[in-house]
Amino acid sequence: MAIITVAQVLACAEEFERMLSEFYTKISHETTREGVRLLSDYMSRHRQRTHHALAKMQAETINRIYKTPLRYEPNAADIHCFEGIDLSPDAKASQIIDAAVRFDECLIRLYHQVLGQDVDHEVKELFESLIRWEQDDEMELKKIKAMDYF
């Protein structure tokens, strides 16, 4: 069994966020609906949570966190999270929101798998913050959908 580190998990999360950004950018360019275009454009630009979380930390702390080995490799948030999501250029904003909630849930599952392991306090704090951000995002999206802005 290969040893995986927190750095590898965070790199996976960053790659997933990059894929999300590309996904939303593509929708933004293809859609004819102004509300969907605005929502997709916004979502493509704000998918850099991992980077922002780490930017607030001291280099020494980041290096320690990165090197932390994990006993079990978590199931990655990856291309499989996109399966079954086929949004056409005519997609409604509510469909974009549903997809975004699903993507948030993929990342939350990944982060919970890290928290379920025996890791030090700094690692737990980081992943708890990432989970809170994803959950907050999920709640905001559900509120937007409920208000039927689009």
Does any domain span residue 21?
A: yes
Residues of the chain with pLDDT under 50: none
Q: What is the CATH number of the domain that holds 11?
A: 1.20.1260.10
Find all residues with CB under 8 Å of 44, minimum gap 6, and list them. Answer: 20, 21, 22, 23, 24, 25, 28
> What are the DSSP E strand ranges found in the chain?
4-5, 69-70
Does any domain span residue 79?
A: no
Does any domain span residue 78?
A: no
Question: How far apart (Å, rounded) are the C-alpha atoms in residues 143 and 136?
Answer: 11
Maximum C-alpha span of the chain:
49
* Pair of tokens at residue 86: 């086929």
Predicted local distance difference test score (pLDDT) of residue 9: 93
Q: Is 107 exposed, middle or buried (0-12, 13-18, 19+ CB in 10 A)?
A: buried
Does any domain span residue 77?
A: no
Does any domain span residue 81?
A: no
Does any domain span residue 30?
A: yes
Does any domain span residue 51?
A: yes
Cα–Cα nearest to 119, from 71, 59, 60: 71
Q: What is the pTM of this model?
A: 0.84
Predicted local distance difference test score (pLDDT) of residue 150: 55
Q: Which residues constitute the domain of residue 136? A: 4-71+89-147
Predicted local distance difference test score (pLDDT) of residue 149: 58
Residue in the structure block whose two tokens are 């990165």? 66
Domain count across the chain:
1
Does any domain span residue 95?
A: yes
